[in-house]
């Protein structure tokens, strides 16, 4: 572990997978000049989490020994996102890793905000302040969280669920959007972007389990939307006046007249409002569980308060 991390940060001190998750979906990047779409990715691990109703554990706060109290480049309490790491230490638990870092950070010049395994989310540094986990530029911007290496599919699924939940909770805590590759980055992304480290985690470790950052993003999106409650819909009360009926199924959507499928949100007065910062990718499957009508148009729910016009539904999966 020392060899993996020792070069990362000294300079800073001076300067629902598969279809089960498509009901929540991936929170797409904010729209700029071009519309961007949410992609429905597939993953055996995300399926396993969904099918076994695996729930993330609560975050445990255990203040560590890292005595550097330095704000981010934008100030104390103003991180810009989360960097995803893995420990490269097979079998070590979150507590094992925390104990090691608390004991040796002055020697290895490395520290992170949290460690996650299949049983625990252990936050050891106040995330209002930076840590030394990903190189000076990223450290000044991001919260750092390490995923512990485990040895079974069940443990891996539980651990990534915990890490995704921690990531989503921090985005929500600091009122940050979920923008894959921008507000949530792998250490590999950081290395490629700023060239201050040469680490590629967690890409290789994920690959051992047939997993990827895109599939991890789906999982983060699920928890982010659950924690946000209304998925950037513009409504203060997503379910007010809900007259919908249960109709759980998997649908496929497509817009033959455009490059994406638009979404709407129901407002408190029962009217609909176009969602301008998210859309569904053409020809993708989505789980739906409710149906509503407004002005003679039927809508199907594909996220907490995101609905698709039934005219875009081309059939079942």
Cα 146 to Cα 276: distance, rounded to the nearest angstrom: 34
63-72, 121-130, 224-233, 273-282: least confidently modelled range = 224-233
User: Which pLDDT band holds residue 264 (cuts at 50, 70, 90)?
Assistant: very high
Q: Sketch the domain layout of the chain as residue ranges.
A: 2-20+42-228, 245-316
User: Which pLDDT band holds residue 280 (cuts at 50, 70, 90)?
Assistant: confident
Tell me the CATH number for domain 2-20+42-228. Answer: 3.40.80.10
Is pLDDT above 60 for 262? yes
Report the 10 Å Cβ neighbour count for 81: 21
User: Which pLDDT band holds residue 233 (cuts at 50, 70, 90)?
Assistant: very low
| Mean pLDDT calculated for residue range 4-31 | 30
Distances (CA, A) of 65 to 25, 83, 131: 38, 21, 12
Is pLDDT above 60 for 266? yes
Is pLDDT above 50 for 14? no
Instruction: Considering only residues 63 and 99, tell me which one the structure prediction assigns the higher pLDDT.
Output: 99
Unique residue bearing structure tokens 């915990």: 162
**φ, ψ (nearest 5 deg) of residue 71:** -75, 165
Query: What tens digit of pLDDT does each residue of 137-179 get?
Result: 999 999 999 999 999 999 999 999 999 999 999 999 999 999 9
DSSP code, position 196: S
| Mean pLDDT calculated for residue range 210-238 | 72
Closest CA to 36 of 47, 49, 27, 48: 27
Note the pLDDT of residue 249. 77
What DSSP line would sit under 86-139, residue for residue?
E---TT--HHHHHHHHHHHHHHHT---SEEE-SS-EEE-S-TTS--SSS-HHHH
Q: What 3-state class would DSSP assign to 1?
A: coil
Note the pLDDT of residue 184. 96
Six token digits for residue 302: 């594909």
- C-beta of residue 39 within 8 angstroms of C-beta of residue 26: yes
6-20, 32-46, 207-221: least confidently modelled range = 6-20
User: Which pLDDT band holds residue 23 (cuts at 50, 70, 90)?
Assistant: very low
Is pLDDT above 60 for 40? no
Q: What is the mean pLDDT of the chain?
A: 81
Instruction: Considering only residues 282 and 239, tell me which one the structure prediction assigns the higher pLDDT.
Output: 282
Six token digits for residue 266: 């129901």
Cα 24 to Cα 199: distance, rounded to the nearest angstrom: 31
Query: What tens digit of pLDDT does each residue of 43-91 get?
Result: 799 999 999 999 999 999 998 999 999 999 999 999 999 999 999 999 9
Is pLDDT above 50 for 227? yes
- C-beta of residue 205 within 8 angstroms of C-beta of residue 152: no
Strands (E) in the chain, as ranges, are 59-61, 81-86, 114-116, 121-123, 142-147, 184-186, 245-253, 260-266, 272-281, 284-294, 297-303, 306-309, 313-316
The 10 Å CB-count burial string (b at 16+, else e) for 228-258 is: bebbbbebeebeeeeebeeeeeebbbbbeee
Query: What tens digit of pLDDT does each residue of 121-142 get?
Result: 999 999 999 999 999 999 999 9
Note the pLDDT of residue 26. 31
Strands 81-86 and 142-147: parallel
Six token digits for residue 169: 């909770």
Is pLDDT above 60 for 1? no
Note the pLDDT of residue 248. 63
- pTM (two decimals): 0.63
Is pLDDT above 70 for 17? no
Direct distance between the N- and C-terminal alpha carbons of the chain, in angstroms, rounded to an integer: 44
185 strand-pairing partners: 83
């Amino acid at each position: 572990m020392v060899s993996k991390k020792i070069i990362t940060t000294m300079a800073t001190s001076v300067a629902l997978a598969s279809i089960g998750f498509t009901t929540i979906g991936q929170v797409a990047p904010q729209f700029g000049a071009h519309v961007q779409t949410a992609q429905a990715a597939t993953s055996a691990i995300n399926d396993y989490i969904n099918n076994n109703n695996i729930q993330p554990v609560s975050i445990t706060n255990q203040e560590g020994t890292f005595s550097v109290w330095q704000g981010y480049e934008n100030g104390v309490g103003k991180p810009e996102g989360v960097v995803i790491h893995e420990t490269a230490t097979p079998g070590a638990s979150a507590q094992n890793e925390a104990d090691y870092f608390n004991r040796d950070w002055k020697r290895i010049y490395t520290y992170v905000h949290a460690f996650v395994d299949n049983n625990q989310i252990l936050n050891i540094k106040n995330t209002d302040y930076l840590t030394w986990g990903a190189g000076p530029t990223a450290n000044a911007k991001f919260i750092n969280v390490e995923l512990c290496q485990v040895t079974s599919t069940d443990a891996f699924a539980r651990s990534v669920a915990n890490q995704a939940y921690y990531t989503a909770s921090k985005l929500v805590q600091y009122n940050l959007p979920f923008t894959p590759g921008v507000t949530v980055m792998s250490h590999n992304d950081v290395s490629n972007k700023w060239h201050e480290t040469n680490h590629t985690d967690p890409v290789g470790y994920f690959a051992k389990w047939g997993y990827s950052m895109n599939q991890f993003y789906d999982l983060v999106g699920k928890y982010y939307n659950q924690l946000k409650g209304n998925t950037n819909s513009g409504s203060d009360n997503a379910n007010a006046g809900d007259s919908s009926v249960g109709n759980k199924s998997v649908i496929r959507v497509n817009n033959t007249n455009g490059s994406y499928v638009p979404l709407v949100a129901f407002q408190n007065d029962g009217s609909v409002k176009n969602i301008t910062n998210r859309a569904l990718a053409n020809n993708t499957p989505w789980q739906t569980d409710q149906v509503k009508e407004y002005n003679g148009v039927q809508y199907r729910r594909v996220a907490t308060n995101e609905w698709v016009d039934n005219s875009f539904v081309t059939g079942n999966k």
